[in-house]
């Protein structure tokens, strides 16, 4: 069987140089790297990932395996889909193996967790989704360094480090643009009055009205019947009226904004210039919503993931990090 020493001999370099090439070290010239990789091709050499993990664990106590754990949500959900690409990019840069792990939210003990977590096959976890206290309690018992992405109640986040974006600033900026375009009556739409993120967005909405000298009109604040139940049935009667009671809508959830666009189409037909402005977080950049969209700047997704990865590495190095980090 071909080993690293064979590659070093063929490339006429040291074994340490071959190792540096495989680990992406910047201290290897392009010429040397090409020579090592050519030797690998000639010898049909392949790294044994299991041996590599054992070597790394013997040196640092950790393998290169981390997991993005999503609770009770789909990886295709617009709220989370744009976290995956930055994670994949960060994992490549840091020479980590990224696993995608889905939990259904009913896990109550370590033994309910999938084997990749239960058997400690990863040394770091990035956690998000519809997290509940039982889930985080089970994960805490694993003793694996975990960083939560998103804002959650302290009963849920427990003792884990948490990183989330400063949504207030970017939402207020988008609302400023909305009023600058001539909007006079800004409605608020969200699915779940009991959900922390919807409550937070409603508080930002009220702040935005106050900053622009606009009164709060509860009659144009619309709440759905719960997370992922949509808003169509709640608002369809509004859009059957001859005139809408608002000329703009703050619907941060991309799915809800999509439903508002469909309702606007039913009301105005192809006259898109009459559609109300919609302030929303347009997560799927390759899918354009119809209507007058004022997107909340989503550049923070990559920054939040980068910070979460930094925190995870810092924890693995045995250093302390503030429990909450706001990007």
Same domain, 201 and 268: yes
Q: What is the pLDDT of residue 131?
A: 93
In eight-state DSSP terms, residue 317 is T
- Among 28-32, 102-106, 205-209, 288-292, which is the least confidently predicted range? 288-292
E-only strand ranges, 104-144: 125-129
Interval 64-88 mean pLDDT:
88
- The CATH number that applies at residue 284 is 3.40.50.2300
In a domain, 94, yes or no: yes
Domain count along the chain? 3
Residue 55 has pLDDT above 70, yes or no: no
Partners of residue 189 on adjacent β-strands: 222
Residue 188 lies in a domain: yes
Contact 11, 36 (CB under 8 A): yes
Sign for the CA dihedral angle at 123, 126, 129, 132 comes to positive
- DSSP helix/strand/coil, 67: strand
pLDDT digits (tens, 9 = 90+) for 220-258: 999 999 888 899 999 999 999 999 999 999 999 888 999
Confidence (pLDDT) at 243: 93
What is the pLDDT, as a whole number, of residue 207?
A: 96
Distance CA 57, CA 218 (A): 57
* Model pTM score: 0.69
What is the side-by-side order of every strand in the sheet holding 324-326? 97-103, 65-71, 125-129, 146-149, 161-164, 324-326
Output the pLDDT for position 58: 41
- The answer, yes or no, to whether residue 183 has pLDDT greater than 50, is yes
Residue 126 has pLDDT above 70, yes or no: yes
Structural tokens at position 200: 């937070």
Q: Is residue 239 part of a domain?
A: yes
Mean pLDDT of the chain: 87
What's the average model confidence in pLDDT over 142-158? 90
Q: Are 297 and 174 in contact (CB under 8 A)?
A: yes
What's the pLDDT band for 287 if we cut at 50, 70, 90?
A: low
Residue 194 lies inside a defined structural domain of this protein: yes
At 94, list the tokens: 């840091």
Taking CA atoms, 164 is separated from 142, 161, 285, in Å, by 23, 10, 21
DSSP state of 183: -
Tokens of 110: 């370590």
Alpha-carbon gap, residue 82 to 289, rounded angstroms: 17
Q: What tokens does 34 get?
A: 């090409």
- Return the CATH number at 15: 1.10.260.40
Band of residue 15 on the pLDDT scale cut at 50, 70, 90: confident
pLDDT band at 298 (very low <50, low <70, confident <90, very high): low
Kindly tell me if the per-residue pLDDT of 47 is higher than 70. Answer: no
Answer yes or no: do 278 and 307 share one domain: no
Same domain, 157 and 191: no
* 173 and 287 together in one domain: yes
Beta bridge partners of 292: 277
Instruction: Answer whether residue 270 is part of any domain.
Output: yes
d(Cα 155, Cα 152) in Å, to the nearest integer?
8
**Containing structural domain, residue 153:** 60-164+302-326
What is the CA 199 to chain-centroid distance, rounded? 19
Bigger pLDDT: 33 or 286?
33
The answer to whether 161 touches 150, Cβ cutoff 8 Å, is no
203: in domain: yes
> Residues 291, 172: one domain?
yes
Q: Are residues 101 and 65 in the same domain?
A: yes
Q: How far is CA 88 from CA 47, 92, 96, 182, in A?
A: 20, 6, 9, 41
Tell me whether residue 52 is in a domain: no
pLDDT surpassing 80 at residue 53: no
Q: Is residue 54 part of a domain?
A: no
Rama region for 297: left / alpha / beta (φ>0; ψ in -120 to 50; rest): beta
């Amino acid at each position: 069987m071909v080993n690293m020493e064979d590659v070093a001999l063929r490339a006429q370099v040291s074994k340490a140089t071959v190792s540096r090439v495989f680990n992406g070290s910047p201290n290897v010239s392009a010429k040397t790297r090409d020579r090592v990789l050519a030797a690998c091709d000639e010898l049909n050499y392949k790294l044994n990932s299991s041996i590599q993990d054992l070597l790394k664990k013997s040196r640092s106590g950790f393998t290169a395996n981390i997991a993005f754990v999503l609770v009770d949500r789909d990886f295709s959900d617009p709220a989370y889909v744009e976290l995956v690409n930055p994670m994949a990019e960060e994992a490549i840069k840091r020479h980590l193996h990224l696993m995608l792990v889905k939990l259904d939210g009913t896990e109550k003990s370590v033994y309910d967790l999938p084997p990749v977590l239960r058997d400690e096959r990863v040394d770091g976890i990035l956690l998000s989704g519809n997290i509940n206290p039982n889930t985080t309690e089970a994960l805490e018992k694993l003793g694996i360094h975990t960083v939560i992405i998103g804002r959650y109640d302290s009963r849920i986040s427990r003792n884990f480090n948490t990183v989330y974006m400063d949504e207030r600033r970017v939402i207020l900026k988008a609302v400023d643009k909305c009023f600058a375009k001539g909007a006079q009556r800004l409605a608020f739409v969200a699915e779940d009055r009991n959900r922390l993120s919807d409550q937070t967005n409603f508080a930002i909405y009220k702040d935005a009205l106050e900053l622009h000298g606009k009164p709060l009109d509860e009659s144009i604040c619309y709440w759905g019947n719960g997370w992922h139940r949509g808003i169509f049935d709640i608002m369809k009667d509004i859009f059957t009226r001859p005139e809408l009671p608002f000329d703009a809508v703050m619907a941060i959830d991309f799915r809800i904004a999509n439903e508002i666009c469909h309702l606007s189409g039913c009301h105005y037909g192809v006259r898109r210039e009459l559609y109300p402005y919609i302030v929303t977080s347009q997560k799927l950049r390759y899918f354009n919503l119809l209507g007058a969209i004022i997107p909340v700047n989503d550049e923070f997704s990559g920054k939040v993931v980068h910070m979460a990865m930094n925190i995870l590495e810092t924890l693995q190095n045995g250093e302390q990090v503030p429990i909450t980090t706001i990007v």
